[in-house]
């Protein structure tokens, strides 16, 4: 007896159902993202995962901290701890200076404004770092409960990391400046307003800076900072110019920027509220 | 404990374990820009040991978790879920015809499965930099393929060899 083909195919009814459900979830997620609302399902999954992820990350650091003397000796370990706490304090100070600088103060004068009343940046731990090679994104363990919102700017003491694009109560998704979806308006710190352009991520710590005027005085070794157009406040270090060349049409310059931040080893970041 | 309950528990535990591995280890295990995809590896291996409908459900769940932790900055959330669901369904559908529960078939299945999942994802959500995407996909597929043999053997050991290739008692759709 020949089995009924239609009846045989009917056995697979869950597939179209799941595909439709998946597509609907995607549309719902994207719609929430566009309107700056948290997607409940995604937020729930990241929040549930963030707790053990943070715990494991902290435990691994704690074990490393506690056992380092076995390999390096007690004195070195004590000295290391002292230096680490000193570095942490300096990092915090550096972050605060960057925040002040980014709010329109010249970098050289930033230290004088250290005592200002601007809210301090929020320290956050990276709980998921580039888990998919297709997206240069990270998830941090701070969210709206820590006054973080969509478009909050994420930095490290070394420079700019990226922008918050998705936020829930206790987690936030950050798109790195190396992702093609993240664009940063930038300027050459030395040449100032005469050398401005757009840094467009290319999945690499070498970030192309395009749309620079052919007459601009941008040169290798110059520091590039955020210009202040768009979501990023001005004055945050992006990186250093490695090379400059004219584009194919010989109309504009293109610079290659070596990012100041080591994205592969991000463990702690600061969020400017 | 019945085999189906045991398998259900193993799969329920495997998803969060692989999720944490993906979140905490994947980027640090990068070799020559190749990054492993533990959740897709789990989903495809599980699909090799399940029927088509159960595989589709497992692919859907794994895809949803992965889409949430990989956090695509633009459209792509739904594309990940749909592409994983279809790929796992296909692997589960082929299972009873081809695999015969053979671990030697794990590497090619994972290699092709990863490429199919990635290609479907690209079809549903075209990426800005296709050369980078192809490069990353091929490397991930190779990485997953290499990891598949030990993971498959551990997985099969834990889950137990199925009595029948058409009914593993998981899901219960068909």
Residues 6+ apart with CB under 8 A from A149: A36, A164, A167, A273
Q: Tell me what ipTM this predicted complex has.
A: 0.84
- Please report the pLDDT score of residue B111 as a whole number: 95
Residue length of chain B: 174
- Please report the pLDDT score of residue B173 as a whole number: 41
Please tell me the distance in Å from B4's CA to the nearest CA on chain A.
20
Digit-coded pLDDT (tens) for A86-135: 888 888 778 777 766 666 544 454 444 444 446 788 999 888 887 777 78
β-strand partners of A188: A192, A224
Band (pLDDT 50/70/90 cuts) for residue A273 is confident
Q: Which of A27, A45, A202 sits opposite B69 (nearest CB)?
A: A45
Q: Which of B37, B77, B132 sits opposite A29 (nearest CB)?
A: B77
- Decide if A11 and B136 are in contact by the 8 Å CB cutoff: no
- Decide if A26 and B82 are in contact by the 8 Å CB cutoff: yes
pLDDT at residue B171 above 50? no
The tokens for A118 are 């601007």
Band (pLDDT 50/70/90 cuts) for residue B25 is confident
Lowest mean pLDDT among A111-115, A157-161, B129-133, B161-165: A111-115
Q: Exposure string (b/e) for B133-161, b if CB count within 10 Å is 16 or more?
A: beebbebbbbbbbebbeebbeebbeebee
Domain boundaries, chain A: 25-273
Q: Does B31 touch chain A (CB under 8 A)?
A: no
Please tell me the distance in Å from B165's CA to the nearest CA on chain A.
16
Band (pLDDT 50/70/90 cuts) for residue B78 is very high
- Decide if A134 and B75 are in contact by the 8 Å CB cutoff: no
| Disruptive mutation site among A26, A28, A37, A182 for chain B (greatest number of B CBs within 10 Å) | A26
Q: How many CB atoms lie within 10 A of CB B120?
A: 19
CA-based nearest residue in chain B for residue A181: B73
Band (pLDDT 50/70/90 cuts) for residue A258 is very high
Phi then psi for residue B163, to 5 deg, are -70, -35
Tell how far CA B90 is from the center of its chain.
12
Q: Which of A19, A128, A133 sits opposite B136 (nearest CB)?
A: A133
Contact B84, B43 (CB under 8 A): yes
Digit-coded pLDDT (tens) for A6-40: 667 778 888 999 999 999 999 998 888 888 777 88
Task: Give the three-class secondary structure for B165.
Answer: coil
* Contact residues on chain B for A132, CB-CB shorter than 8 A: 35, 37, 66, 70, 72
* Contact residues on chain A for B81, CB-CB shorter than 8 A: 22-23, 25-26
- Please report the pLDDT score of residue B99 as a whole number: 63
| Disruptive mutation site among A15, A24, A143 for chain B (greatest number of B CBs within 10 Å) | A15
pLDDT at residue B90 above 50? yes
Digit-coded pLDDT (tens) for B31-73: 877 889 999 999 999 888 888 898 999 999 999 999 988 867 7
Average pLDDT over residues A167-196: 86
* pLDDT-above-90 percentage for chain A: 26
Contact A167, A141 (CB under 8 A): no
């Amino acid at each position: 007896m020949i089995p009924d083909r239609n009846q045989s195919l009917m056995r697979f009814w869950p597939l179209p159902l799941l595909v439709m459900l998946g597509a609907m979830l995607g549309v719902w997620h994207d719609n929430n993202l566009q309107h700056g609302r948290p997607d409940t399902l995604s937020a729930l999954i990241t929040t549930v995962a963030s707790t053990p992820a943070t715990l494991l990350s902290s435990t691994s650091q704690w074990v490393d901290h506690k056992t380092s003397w076995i390999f390096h000796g007690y004195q070195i370990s004590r000295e290391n701890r002292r230096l680490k706490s000193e570095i942490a304090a300096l990092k915090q100070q550096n972050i605060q200076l960057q925040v002040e600088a980014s709010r329109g103060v010249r970098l050289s004068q930033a230290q004088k404004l250290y005592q200002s009343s601007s809210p301090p940046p929020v320290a956050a731990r990276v709980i998921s770092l580039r888990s998919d090679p297709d997206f240069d994104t990270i998830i941090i363990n701070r969210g709206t409960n820590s006054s973080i919102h969509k478009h909050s700017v994420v930095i490290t003491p070394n420079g700019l990391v990226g922008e918050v694009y998705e936020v829930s109560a206790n987690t936030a998704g950050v798109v790195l400046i190396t992702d093609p979806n993240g664009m940063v308006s930038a300027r050459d710190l030395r040449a100032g307003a005469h050398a401005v352009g757009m840094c467009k991520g290319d999945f690499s710590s070498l970030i192309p800076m395009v749309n620079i005027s052919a007459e601009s005085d941008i040169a290798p070794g110059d520091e590039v900072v955020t210009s202040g157009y768009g979501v990023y406040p001005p004055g945050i270090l992006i990186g250093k110019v490695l090379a400059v060349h004219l584009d194919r049409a010989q109309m504009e310059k293109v610079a290659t920027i070596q990012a100041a931040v080591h994205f592969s080893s991000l463990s702690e970041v600061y969020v400017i509220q | 404990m019945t085999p189906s309950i045991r398998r259900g528990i193993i799969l329920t535990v495997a998803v969060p374990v692989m999720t944490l591995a993906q979140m905490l280890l994947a980027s640090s295990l990068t070799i020559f820009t190749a990054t492993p995809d533990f959740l897709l590896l789990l989903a495809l291996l599980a699909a090799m040991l399940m029927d088509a409908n159960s595989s589709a459900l497992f692919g859907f769940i794994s895809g949803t978790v992965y889409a949430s932790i990989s956090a695509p900055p633009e459209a792509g959330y739904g594309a990940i879920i749909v592409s994983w669901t279809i790929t796992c369904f296909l692997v589960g559908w082929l299972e009873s015809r081809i695999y015969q529960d053979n671990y030697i078939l794990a590497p090619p299945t994972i290699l092709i499965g990863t490429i199919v999942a990635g290609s479907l994802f690209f079809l549903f959500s075209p990426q800005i930099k296709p050369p980078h995407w192809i490069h990353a996909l091929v490397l991930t597929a190779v990485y997953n393929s290499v990891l598949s043999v030990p993971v498959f053997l551990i997985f099969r050991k834990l889950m137990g060899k199925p009595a029948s290739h058409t009914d593993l008692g998981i899901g219960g759709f068909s």
